[in-house]
Amino acid sequence: MYKKLAGMTGTALTESEEFHKIYKLEVFPVPTNLEYQAYGPDATLVEVRKKDEENYQYTYYARKGDSEQKPVLFRRKDYPDVIFRTVDTKLRAIVTEILRCHTLGRPLLVGTTSVESSDRLSAHLKADSIRRLMQILLVRHGWMKANDREEDGRLIPELQPFNEPIETITPDALRKFASSFGMTTINPEDPANLSRLLELLNLPEESADRLKSVLQAGVPHAVLNARRHTEESQIIAGAGAFGAVTIATNMAGRGVDIKLGGEIAEEVISAVNRVLRRAGYQDPFDMQLEERRQALLKADPEQYGLYNGEVKLFLQYFEDMERVRELGGLHVIGSERHEARRIDNQLRGRSARQGDPGSSRFYLSLQDDLMRLFGGEQVSGLMERLKVDDSLPLEARLVSGIIESSQARVEGANFDVRKHLLEYDDVLNKQREQIYSQRDRIFTKLDLTEDVAEILDAEVEQRVELGLTDEEGPWKLIAWLEGVQPPFETQGRLFPTFGLALILDELKKSDDARRAILDVVSRSIEVEQSHTQRAIEALVDKTEEGLKSQIDERVDTLDVFFEGLRDSNEPIRAQKVAEELSGLIRLPLRLNGEQSRLLADDPMEFKEWLVTYIEAQLIALNAARVVGAVERRLGEALGEKITATDWDDVADQILEAAHNLMQRQHERLTAQVERDIDAAFQREAGEDDSSKLRVLISLSQGARAYFDPKTHRQVRQVFNRFSYVYYAAQLLENRTAEDVTDAVMEHLEQAESALQTAWGQGEYARLSHGSASALKLADFGPAAQVFGEERQNEMAAALSESERETLIQAIGSYILNEVKRQLLLGAISELWVEYLTKVESLRISIGLEAYAQRDPLVQYKGKASELFQQLLADIRSAVIGRVFSYQPRRVEIMPTEVAEASGETQTQQVESGRKKRRRH
């Protein structure tokens, strides 16, 4: 779609392999602003590496030439990951870290992997949970001191119960345990305990009041979980404020700058600008925030006036920002490693932006999803066997490296999945490109005649080959051509279908049109009845095969049943056994007294009778079905009752009855046609091809009036008395496929030319109706361009006869071309949507191929290709099946009226036959 692909993101480096393999793009890391200032050609900063009080190495930037190397800008401190055995101990460590940083006033951003994790962590920051955690910390410290023990990582059995989830530990249990070693109170607000907590949390004495307030009210925090959309911007604006705590999921709070000290409200800045303007500054809007601060400090406080509160808020913002910077800036805590390093890097990237101080640390557990994938359970089991205390964290940069390599492996696996899906998508994308290119060509190409001609030629060639090789003869080819190109009127004559054109050629061999048409009708009826006779014979043979299968299946079921009945020691209850047998053979079974006694006395002899009963019932049932199918095919009742019990005799009776009925129909139809043909010729003015064609169509159609019981009205029904399709198919016998293809294409090309003329004449007549003298060539639209642009304002009435004919042909060509355009677009749009549904179903189910030791992707490509070829064939069929059906006006031929009494008799016979079939 795009000739060039490019972009910029802060987390693409870990996905460089995927960018290269999929999109053929190289990923280059761009130096940050700090790196450019430190390593650029005109660098003003130098990089300084030092260690903090906890012996962690960190990096900052100082002015070049500064002997004291005072920090100017900072690089983020990425502390090693801390790993715990269980999720609960990990949560305790996270809450403890949050409590310590919040008490100091340092802002925190805590990243979680799900909304559920955010809610769980949020619940642990409430007052009750915080107090319980501090009580456990005090009790543990008190026990260690009372027993003169130091933390060495070994499991202490006495303290093991307090490693359970906090919500399961009660204050009573803590008090009872504390009293056992002389601890009098576990209240964290007790001065002694509060002082001890400051020591355990490594907090200064001045933080005692903030710690006490947290113990009383919990840690105030905000949760970003993509639920509160309207408040997220406000939460993010205050995420860097003094003492702020923000919990965010992977999808919330990413890609934003968190400013240390928080954001200043626009109302406060506006008030400060007014104060500065009053103090004599020309344009305070162009001043930096620091410049405004210095200006306010120099100004007389009396000039603040009504805006004293806003000015204090403005100055307080800078004090808070300085305090936050001194505390180390924003601290980011990750509660779990994501499968992709890119997500973790996004979380870390919220801290230490644009040279601000900041740090990050991930807290993990061996029960996390990523850790369980790569041996977390084995390590956890090892720690249990070695009796390592759950509260002991594993902290080593080596472990962090192992985790990152695990993430790289997961990323590689996910990439393989996406690449595999892409291979599936490539199949559909290539097909989509082909379909869309065809649609674009249809939209933009002016003349689609050649395109439709190619489609028509391919479709006809395929149909002819199939039709001539069909065992039943090429009647299906003729029937298809009848549906593709029905007869239509043009220039006062009737253009025939291909089958009728073959018959017209036969009629030309005789000088007596009446006699020739009668011969054609008679032969058409004979050929159609021969085809029907063969179809009935095939139906009888197929039914016989099914009948044998049904009988064998039921006999096998009886063998199994009576073997079980013979081995059973229970007495035979005839009624119960009969009900079971009726369900097994799926036929109604009612036993009289003699049959019930036979079943009880001699089950095997009863079985022989039952087999005979099954055969008779199934023969009668299948015979009724065949008779019903034959009567529906012939349109009348057979008129003969089928009395035989053996299937061969039944088949012979059905075939003989059908033959007799068709003979009667042949005689009746022939007599009717001989009577109706004179009236048909009288309606026609002459004996040209168009008149003969109308007579042929009129004789093949009948009309009768009957009473509709639903509407209680007399309805006129038009029906086909017989068909010329089978006779026309006989005329194609002994002809080669190439010869037939050429003949069909020549006929359809003539039909298209005639249809073009018909469209042109109809549209010309419509536009000229009532205002022919005032029409200009331009009024005929794009078709008038055949005369050139310079003649568009000429009057249409001034055209010569040949020019008028040229205009009519141009109009017809334009209309027919637009018809083809709409047909192509409609067929492609409709069938493409259906195809997408089929391909999606195939894609869902193709995975089952793996059970057969076949590659699903290979099978998908093969089957999708077959479906696509079928789609193209369906598009061809849809277009060809409609292109000749769009006509200026339909052909109306008067059908031959059939006597009402005959119609009623025929209808009554069919209905009577249906009633008899329902009694079986």
Kindly state whether residues 695 and 576 are assigned to the same domain: yes
How many Å apart are CA 287 and CA 502, to the nearest integer? 96
Cα 125 to chain centroid distance, Å, stands at: 42
Domain of residue 625: give its range: 498-702+899-918
| pLDDT for res 920 | 35
Least confident segment among 10-19, 491-500, 796-805: 10-19
| pLDDT for res 821 | 92
Single pTM value for the model = 0.60
Kindly state whether residues 908 and 881 are assigned to the same domain: no
- DSSP strand E in 662-708: where? 701-708
**pLDDT tens, position by position, 710-748:** 787 877 777 788 889 999 999 988 889 999 999 999 999
Within 10 angstroms of residue 96's Cβ, the number of other Cβ atoms is 16
Kindly state whether residues 876 and 907 are assigned to the same domain: no
Kindly state whether residues 542 and 629 are assigned to the same domain: yes
Which range has highest mean pLDDT (21-30, 599-608, 824-833)? 824-833
Query: Quick check: helix, strand or coil at residue 27?
Result: coil
- Which residue type occupies 654? I
Q: Is the pLDDT of residue 904 over 60?
A: no
The dihedral region occupied by 354, where left means phi > 0, alpha psi between -120 and 50, and beta the remainder, is left
* Structural domain contains residue 191: no
Q: Is the pLDDT of residue 370 over 60?
A: yes
Give 479's Cβ-side CA count (13 Å radius).
10
Total structural domains in the chain?
A: 3
Q: Which DSSP symbol is given to 374?
A: T
Kindly state whether residues 468 and 515 are assigned to the same domain: no
Residue from 623, 627, 619, 665 nearest 913 by CA: 627
Q: For the chain, what is the mean pLDDT?
A: 84
Phi and psi dihedrals of 103, rounded to 5? -65, -40
Q: Is the pLDDT of residue 360 over 90?
A: yes
* Structural domain contains residue 698: yes
**pLDDT tens, position by position, 259-309:** 888 888 888 899 988 888 888 888 888 888 888 888 888 888 888 888 888
Return the structure tokens found at 903. 């119609």
How many Å apart are CA 62 and CA 73, to the nearest integer? 7
* Structural domain contains residue 128: no
Kindly state whether residues 744 and 619 are assigned to the same domain: no
| pLDDT for res 419 | 77
User: Of 293, 308, 328, which marks where a domain is finished?
Assistant: 328
* Structural domain contains residue 39: no
Which of the two residues, 20 and 527, has the higher pLDDT score? Answer: 527
* Structural domain contains residue 250: no
- CATH label of the domain that carries residue 810: 1.10.3060
What is the helix (H) or strand (E) element at residue 58, kind and residue range? strand 57-63
* Structural domain contains residue 270: yes
Q: Is the pLDDT of residue 816 over 80?
A: yes
* Structural domain contains residue 112: no
Q: How far apart are the first and last CA of the chain?
A: 67
How many Å apart are CA 245 and CA 236, to the nearest integer? 11
**pLDDT tens, position by position, 560-593:** 888 877 777 677 777 788 888 888 888 888 888 8
Pairing type for strands 108-111 and 330-334 reads parallel
* Structural domain contains residue 785: yes
Query: Quick check: helix, strand or coil at residue 702?
Result: strand
Least confident segment among 170-184, 197-211, 355-369, 678-692: 678-692
| pLDDT for res 382 | 63
Q: Is the pLDDT of residue 376 over 70?
A: no
Kindly state whether residues 904 and 816 are assigned to the same domain: no
How many Å apart are CA 452 and CA 670, to the nearest integer? 42
Confidence of residue 254 (pLDDT cuts 50, 70, 90): low
Instruction: Using alpha carbons only, give the angle 898, 899, 903 rounded to the nearest 5 degrees.
Output: 85
Within 10 angstroms of residue 88's Cβ, the number of other Cβ atoms is 18
Q: Which residue has the tokens 């460590």?
A: 93
Kindly state whether residues 880 and 904 are assigned to the same domain: no
- DSSP strand E in 492-546: where? 493-495
**pLDDT tens, position by position, 528-546:** 999 999 999 999 999 999 9
What is the helix (H) or strand (E) element at residue 561, kind and residue range? helix 513-567
Kindly state whether residues 555 and 681 are assigned to the same domain: yes
Kindly state whether residues 572 and 519 are assigned to the same domain: yes
Kindly state whether residues 688 and 766 are assigned to the same domain: no
Kindly state whether residues 647 and 568 are assigned to the same domain: yes
How many Å apart are CA 607 and CA 272, to the nearest integer? 108
Confidence of residue 883 (pLDDT cuts 50, 70, 90): confident
Give 129's Cβ-side CA count (13 Å radius).
20
| pLDDT for res 642 | 81
Residue from 445, 493, 483 nearest 748 by CA: 483
